[in-house]
Chain A
């Protein structure tokens, strides 16, 4: 049942121009970053050979590429997640799901997985872009894998938060702005952190993504993302269930 709902979300996403345009725009921007990075690498390459322990092509191109992809996702996910519940509520199509023999958790998980399928497609394209470097260089597969895992977890966190905020309102644009604000806030929350062990660092999405970006799969950071995703999915289920009891 979860997959039926996920498939429906994907189908509706791709039946309009929105998904295609978002994919196209993100790809163009990332491709520009990528080419710039390759260019920079080629200019400094002669100097690198003089170093005793020079950074590799993966560190110099793939790491910044995934860092940029994370920021682009931060802006794109709210646009994709805004309609998940808000629009259904607005068009009163939620009744189809609510009157069907499907639980609220299945509805939320289905919608979450549908969005994740789309985001995985995007992450897959970023990974492919990195793999194209194999044409002229050798990559560090561990570092690349760490980045992919990190970006998937990060995208899932964005999607869970966006889904929750979409469940709060019946206006997609309010949901988009709310999610964007919340995500950006959580991204930069550690700006005013004093010292490395400040609790603000613990909350920051950026801090937890950084270790993945450097190729370190730290179980504490993975746990943060998993808890973050679970928390907002549970909140979304509660909120949607409230529609039935208090709405």
Chain B
């Protein structure tokens, strides 16, 4: 039995009277890549923000490697790497300065910082741009800096909110292989609405619609549950439509 790295129980979150996420529960095992799918406004980003500790759930709890995120946020967050929807980049800093800052914020010992940032730059293809200002980089490179920031401290769980947005096809392929590679030792949760991306990198799929989980399982389970549908896209459309009419 592999280790469970993320365990979310009955997560709900409301903004005023609007309920963005309701009763979402799932588990993630070590080495797994989980794809969170859903149309715009389904509650993907809110769910990921709650997992990353940037947003407190209205009800429910999150455990990261057995540590409760709400009770021991410092210990739990040390095991997390998070790339938000908008990469949290300081435009005034160079790539190197920024990654060093991210490493320090994640309490990497002083003598290991140079090594960690170097490794993150290599993995994200940033070796050439270390001395450049983040504000002057193209969107694709900025996105990569955002990913590098999320993995610089070698976290157990990596949370990526739409990681391939704004990248060109070659970069998308590189980032996908990076995500696969990360999945080997870390656990990865990524949200997207690009369906082929899910099929190519994810071990498991969760489909969200109107704040609820409407499907959870791997591709084989998906084919078994919906034998009439030819591919993920049709299942996705059927699932999100069904809920609307209900």
Binding site for B on A (CB under 8 A): 1, 4-5, 8, 11-12, 15-16, 91-103, 244-245, 247
Given contacts A92-B84, A100-B77, contact A247 B55 (CB under 8 A): yes
**Range, interface on chain B:** 20 to 34
Given contacts A15-B92, A101-B75, A101-B78, contact A95 B105 (CB under 8 A): no
> Is residue B173 within 8 Å, beta carbon to beta carbon, of the partner chain?
no
> Is residue B56 within 8 Å, beta carbon to beta carbon, of the partner chain?
yes
> Is residue B52 within 8 Å, beta carbon to beta carbon, of the partner chain?
yes
Main secondary structure of the interface of A (DSSP, over half): helix
Given contacts A1-B107, A4-B104, A8-B101, contact A99 B92 (CB under 8 A): no
- Chain A residues within an 8 Å CB radius of B107: 1, 101
Give Cα A91–Cα B85 distance, bound, in whole angstroms.
Answer: 12
- Chain B residues within an 8 Å CB radius of A15: 92-93
Give the shortest distance, in Å, between B100 (CB) and chain A (any CB): 10
- Chain B residues within an 8 Å CB radius of A247: 55
- Chain A residues within an 8 Å CB radius of B232: none
Binding site for A on B (CB under 8 A): 52-56, 73-75, 77-78, 80, 82, 84-86, 88-93, 97, 101-102, 104-107, 149
Main secondary structure of the interface of B (DSSP, over half): loop
Task: Count A-B contacts at CB 8 Å.
Answer: 72
Give Cα A100–Cα B149 distance, bound, in whole angstroms.
Answer: 11
Give the shortest distance, in Å, between B102 (CB) and chain A (any CB): 7
Question: Are the CB atoms of A101 and B73 closer together than 8 Å?
Answer: yes
Give the shortest distance, in Å, between A16 (CB) and chain B (any CB): 6
Question: Are the CB atoms of B78 and A16 closer together than 8 Å?
Answer: no
Given contacts A16-B92, A92-B88, contact A99 B97 (CB under 8 A): no
Q: List 8 contacting pairs A-B, 8 Å CB cutoff, sorted by A.
A: A15-B93, A91-B91, A92-B84, A96-B88, A99-B53, A100-B77, A101-B105, A102-B105
Question: Are the CB atoms of B54 and A95 closer together than 8 Å?
Answer: yes
Give Cα A93–Cα B83 distance, bound, in whole angstroms.
Answer: 11
Question: Are the CB atoms of A100 and B92 closer together than 8 Å?
Answer: no
- Chain A residues within an 8 Å CB radius of B102: 96, 100
- Chain A residues within an 8 Å CB radius of B85: 92
- Chain A residues within an 8 Å CB radius of B101: 4, 8
Give Cα A1–Cα B89 distance, bound, in whole angstroms.
Answer: 19
Give Cα A12–Cα B133 distance, bound, in whole angstroms.
Answer: 12
Question: Are the CB atoms of B52 and A99 closer together than 8 Å?
Answer: yes
Give Cα A98–Cα B159 distance, bound, in whole angstroms.
Answer: 14
Question: Are the CB atoms of A103 and B82 closer together than 8 Å?
Answer: no
Give Cα A64–Cα B237 distance, bound, in whole angstroms.
Answer: 74
